Amino acid sequence: MELFTINNVWMMICTALVFFMHLGFAFLEIGLTRQKNTINILFKNIFIITVGLLLYCVIGFNLMYPGDFNGFLGFAGLGLDARTVTDPETGKAILDLAYNEGYTYWTDFLFQGMFAATAATIVSGAVAERMKIGPFMIFTIIYVGLVYPIAGSWDWGGGFLETRDTPFYDFAGSTLVHSVGGWAALVAVILLGARIGKFKDGKPQAIPGHNIPIATAGVIILWLGWFGFNGGSVLSADPTLTSLTLVTTCLAAAAGGVVSALVSTLLYKNLDLTMFLNGILGGLVGITAGADQMSPTDAIMIGSIAGTIIVFGISLIDKLKLDDPVGAIAVHLICGIWGTLAVGIFGGLAGVDQFITQLVGVGSIAVFCMVSAFIILFTLKKTVGIRVSEREELEGLDAHEHGMDAYPDFRLNER
């Protein structure tokens, strides 16, 4: 019982750290975008956390973990099951240790619920400064409530990816969390179009964020939160495995940041802090699929490649004339794919069969998420519209959609 309590407390601490990541996402997004859209971004992030947790309680958790299941779709019913048993002598509810040897049902729900909202948060950054708040809220409800848990059930819930002869492996969600959000972000950016002024004569123009110190704080908070994101995914307080996971996570983040900064400096001849920051995040996303399987050297290699991917990925997005204000597609989608495939190249599971399985998993999730996101967003586009008017975009979403100013006593000159 003492070990059970220790494991459960560690899982609750990790839950709090993952919750704290949402502040990091909010800081990063507002820092890399313009002042006039700050309230809008904060509103979306708060909406995602609150509604996402309620949806996960009502339907998502039992969609993602339906019990006996080895296919494409399962469902254990609406709401949370207490999963307690009654002491025959006292008649009081007691802990059901048969549920899990490491933590309680309630801790499991809350930890997984913190993950659920992340997918929509990734989309929030990519569509910043030009998407209507109402359609975004509708999208979030459907995507977090249905799409994310169904995709997650295919592996973490015992679905067809987990029951393959060589099971798909995604330790903490390079694909099942980050790419799920990344694919939707890609579809949304394509359907929305670029912000006014982003491209001139086909060439990308810089639209600087209004608060880089806040963006930097956001990345540091996210890195801290990853101690819970990956550390908690050990699903116990096992000292060796937890420590190794945190070491590989940190080394990949550090390598991703340093290599991204070096590569971008060589290419663009300037020390770009935002590229440094996204490199750290790319390293974190890249190691997430196999953080418990890698050696420190493997982690540095994975993070270094992720850091390189960030620089060229952001450049590719610009060349395709797609507008992603915070680099979410490069960080969460491209590095998420890389991290998932890296499980078949580095670490204890490396091998041809594992690499093929990882490819199958990436492809399956890609098709499901892109089709789902397209149906939701295209339907919204053709019915209520998903993009604000030109006037609203130029004057800022804060004034038009919220009637508020994030900094009423301090106004910057903005384009």
**Secondary structure in 3-state letters for 345-403:** CCCCCCCHHHHHHHHHHHHHHHHHHHHHHHHHHHHHHHHCCCECCHHHHHHCHHHHHHC
CATH number corresponding to 2-65+99-402: 1.10.3430.10
Per-residue pLDDT of the chain (415 residues), as tens digits, is: 688 889 999 999 999 999 999 999 999 999 999 999 999 999 999 999 999 999 999 999 999 998 777 678 888 888 886 555 556 677 665 555 556 667 888 899 999 999 988 888 999 999 999 999 999 999 999 999 999 999 999 999 999 999 999 999 999 999 999 999 999 999 999 999 999 999 998 899 999 999 999 999 999 999 999 999 999 999 999 999 999 999 999 999 999 999 999 999 999 999 999 999 999 999 999 999 999 999 999 999 999 999 999 999 999 999 999 999 999 999 999 999 999 999 999 999 999 999 999 999 999 999 999 999 999 999 999 999 999 999 999 999 999 999 999 998 765 555 4
**Residue 371 and residue 364 in contact, taking contact as beta carbons nearer than 8 Å:** no
Tell how many helices (H) and how many strands (E) occur in the chain.
17, 4
pLDDT value of position 71 = 75
Structure tokens at 171: 């330790």
CA-based nearest residue to 117, from 186, 200, 60, 202: 60
Q: Which residues of 211-245 are buried (b: 16+ CB within 10 A; e: fewer)?
A: beebbbbbbebbbebbbbbbbbbbbbbeeeebebb
SS3 81: coil
SS3 90: coil
**Residue 93 and residue 84 in contact, taking contact as beta carbons nearer than 8 Å:** yes
pLDDT value of position 94 = 57
Q: At what angle do helices 212-231 and 273-287 cross, to 10 degrees?
A: 10
- Structure-token match 């190249």, residue found: 345
- Distance (Å) of CA 377 to CA 85, 116, 119, 138, 382: 44, 19, 15, 9, 9
**Residue 407 and residue 35 in contact, taking contact as beta carbons nearer than 8 Å:** yes
CA distance 22 to 27: 9
Dihedral over Cα of 204, 205, 207, 213: its sign:
positive
Write the DSSP string, 106-127.
Answer: HHHHHHHHHHHTHHHHHHHHHT
pTM, two decimals, is 0.93
CA-based nearest residue to 143, from 335, 301, 375, 312: 375
pLDDT value of position 82 = 52
pLDDT value of position 339 = 98
**Residue 29 and residue 219 in contact, taking contact as beta carbons nearer than 8 Å:** no
pLDDT value of position 187 = 98
pLDDT value of position 95 = 57
Domain residue spans in the chain? Answer: 2-65+99-402
CA distance 400 to 43: 13
**Beta carbons within 8 Å of 301's beta carbon, 6+ residues apart:** 255, 346
